[in-house]
Chains A and B, each alone.
Chain A
Amino acid sequence: MEMASRRKNDSVEDEKHLSPFPDEVLERVLVFVKSHRDRSSVSLVCKDWYSAERWSRTHVFIGNCYSVSPEILVRRFPNIRSVTLKGKPRFSDFNLVPPNWGADIHEWLAVFASAYPFLEELRLKRMTVTDESLEFLAQSFPKFKALSLVSCDGFSTDGLAAIATHCKNLSNATLNMVYSLRIRNLTELDIQENDMDDLGGRWLSCFPEKFTSLEILNFANLNSEVNFDALERLVTRCKSLKVLKVNRNVTLEQLSRLLMRVPTLTELGTGSFSQELTLRQYAELENAFNTCKNLHTLSGLWEATSLYLAALYPACTNLTFLNLSYAALQSGELAKLLPNCPHLRRLWVLDTVEDNGLEAVGLSCPLLEELRVFPSDPFDQDMILGVGDGVTESGFIAVSRGCHNLRYVLYFCRQMTNTAVATVVQNCPDFTHFRLCIMKPCQPDYLTNEPMDEAFGSVVKTCTKLQRLAVSGLLTDLTFEYIGRYAKNLETLSVAFAGSSDRGMECVLGGCAKLRKLEIRDCPFGNVALLSGLEKYESMRSLWMSACKVTMNGCRLLAREMPRLNVEVIKEDDSDDIQAEKVYIYRSVAGRRRDAPPFVQTL
């Protein structure tokens, strides 16, 4: 591995060598330190270590793109090969952030083009990426290998075509370029019909015939049709393909054909799983899945019906992650499928499986560590007495009885009780991520009619390793007192429609020493609460507050007292000048944003 030349100039003046090794040795050792938090710790030991660390770092993770500027980044780290960047606040996923807010990748790419010409990997989350940026990326980095875009917006398949096309211009020796192209969870993918063929999958055809290095291809959330022939040819010639996740436009029959070409797949995302198949076609499908003995991840299964699910069973033997969240399965179907997956660790389902389905999970998946239950009908938030719709507290308890290794849960439901949650965490005390969403805001324990304070109290008291918590239901300040008192490892907290007074937020800010991300909406927390965290926000990544009771004056005061924080207020049309409807506060060494749109006011 090459390092840009440096050594001579650096520590010549500094005679105090705390480290007994020469720098070269230290750097060789540091190569093995991968975690960015460990690297941060290393850099704080002394000047020598800071220097060695910055020269030896090849991957950088930036959790908030506005916390630092590209110029500052490249000045500190000269040898970066891989960048991970996150942009917009998480609540932008739920349309709480207006469009054109920012987090555009382009200024970063422009700086990287000169500072990191050998950049290999770029992983972006919630960033705006235009086609121009993608084209620029394709042209500027000859060694570029891996592109991952998660929850990004602003580009079209034309941009993807640019990435795929660029391989064409390379000589034979450097054709092993783009090995990973993964696009997930797009918002607003705008498919422009102009230069595309009718199928709209032109970008896939842009991979040249000699291109064989693809290992990961994931376009599951792209809505456009792709040219199946081009896909089949691509898959056939890329012998190292490990991950293939197609979109819903790929039929079962087409899937069979693809699977026969890639027996080495470890991750598969099927296309649509409902098609009228002849007996012969069904046999082919079964055959195809029979060859997939190496699968550890399975997803897709759009519109899966019980008719064809059985074809899957032979491919499930080694599955550790099963994502059924696009398939409206019933409890019986799930109950039949699960025993074929004895090694399952992660399971995502729709609440169509109901409590009975979750009972089957409890019985069949003893190794389960993660469960996510999504609502099949999110607009329907009402609980109907006696008509258990979706999943209830019973299903939650049933899972916890059988799956003692649960660490991560995301659970959307319409009814819950304090006792049930207490039982769940008693059965599963090792939760690190607990996200419970009782879908109707401010809903109490439906049996006792009390707030859900004790539920979350039991979570934080019992689950000492808890890192992430999302609360819901009717909650008073007591919930937050509990959180502040017991959740000592909490890093991320999401709150909506909860709390009774400023005290709630104060307790959290005062008690949760490791808190990094706090996002709040529709809570009665005002300036007193906001300002109680004055000293704390610099140790956090960010704070989001919307539809709370903070005012512009409160925000101004905060901004004045804490100059190293960016206090941004998003002003939408009809808001007055007193209330601060949406506030986003984050620490930054880069000062205020240079690219803030007119509706974002930095105080």
Chain B
Amino acid sequence: MELQLGLALPSNPIKGFDLNTHFYEPKDQLVGADSWSYGCCFESKNNSNKRSFEEAFEKTRVVTETLPLLLWNDRSNEEDDRKGFEKSFSSTITEDEGEGDCLVGWPPLKSWRMKLQHQSHGSNSMYVKVKMEGVGIGRKIDLNLHRSYQTLTVTLISMFEKYQKSVRGTKDGTQYTLTYQDREGDWLLAGDVPWQTFIRSVKRLKIQRNNG
């Protein structure tokens, strides 16, 4: 099955789509398939096999619970195996930190150190990490080799195509969104800003599943 990765179309500004609701209020995602046409969507060839809402919701809920603990790798499967291990920490997450990736005061670094921007100098390459939701292994991509979102997405598709089948819980019809984390730690949709602006602020990429 072909993996397609769509981006935000400049002519269709995305209103009200924000990563918070994507993960914390999945109910709001109960809209028609059209909602995903305005950007950042995978359209698979078999459109008719979209997952039911409950299925999607269930998955999202599970993800929500584990999100505060940043369990993006395969080990999240083995949570249950850890004997007697309570994973119900009430961590201090602020909801407006995107998808809950950022815990308050963690890692334990003084605020001014967190804000330091370190330019990697000398090289002509600009490597950023790319992770795909549900896939334990990430990749690195040199953004300097790209001049536009189009070439970027083509490369990402070829990198991650092979994982699509192994992604836990994926069925045909799963759609994906390309997001990135900027220098301030915020998670944003790729494609919203011009490429040059994007290049200056992107720190890492994530390919997320749409549940809808």
Chain A residues in the interface with B (C-beta under 8 A)? 91, 93-96, 151, 185-187, 221, 274, 303, 305-306, 325-326, 328, 330, 350, 352, 374-387, 389, 412, 437, 439-442, 444, 449, 470, 474, 476, 494, 496-497, 500-501, 521-524, 546-547, 579
Contact = CB atoms under 8 A, between A and B. Distances in A.
Given A328-B119, A379-B185, A496-B106, A524 B70 contact: no
A95 B111 contact: yes
Interface stretch (B45-53, B55-63, B81-89): B81-89
Nearest to B136: A385
Interface stretch (B15-23, B72-80, B145-153): B72-80
For A274, A303, A547, which residue has the most chain B Cβ atoms within 10 angstroms?
Answer: A547
A306 B88 CA distance: 47
B91 A522 contact: yes
Main secondary structure of the interface of B (DSSP, over half): loop
Nearest to A572: B92
B114 A378 contact: yes
A94 B120 contact: no
Given A379-B114, A501-B86, 14 more contacts: A93-B111, A94-B106, A187-B112, A221-B112, A378-B114, A379-B102, A379-B203, A380-B129, A381-B70, A382-B70, A449-B75, A497-B69, A521-B92, A522-B90
B144 to A, nearest CB: 17
Contact of A439 (B101, B107, B110, B129): B107
Nearest to A223: B112
Contacts of A383: 73
A547 B85 contact: no
A144 B87 CA distance: 54
Interface residues of B, number: 47
6 closest Cβ contacts across the A-B interface? A94-B105, A328-B118, A384-B138, A376-B118, A379-B185, A96-B105
B181 interface: yes
26 contacts: A93-B110, A93-B111, A94-B104, A96-B105, A303-B119, A305-B122, A374-B109, A374-B113, A375-B107, A377-B203, A378-B114, A379-B101, A379-B203, A382-B138, A389-B129, A412-B109, A439-B107, A441-B70, A442-B87, A470-B108, A496-B108, A500-B84, A521-B92, A522-B90, A522-B91, A546-B92
Contact of B107 (A352, A381, A522): A381
Contacts of B88: 524
B107 A378 contact: yes
Contacts of B118: 328, 350, 352, 376-377
Contacts of B113: 325, 374, 378
Contacts, number: 130
A375 B113 CA distance: 9
B138 A387 contact: yes
Interface of B: 69-70, 72-73, 75, 78, 82, 84-92, 101-114, 116, 118-122, 129, 131, 136-140, 181, 185, 203-204
A328 B120 contact: yes
A219 to B, nearest CB: 14
A446 B88 CA distance: 22
B121 A442 contact: no
A449 B138 contact: no
Contact of B69 (A374, A442, A444): A442
Given A94-B105, A376-B118, A382 B73 contact: yes
A534 to B, nearest CB: 24
For A325, A382, A521, A579, which residue has the most chain B Cβ atoms within 10 angstroms?
Answer: A382
Given A377-B203, A380-B203, A524 B86 contact: yes
A442 to B, nearest CB: 6
Contacts of A350: 118
B203 to A, nearest CB: 7
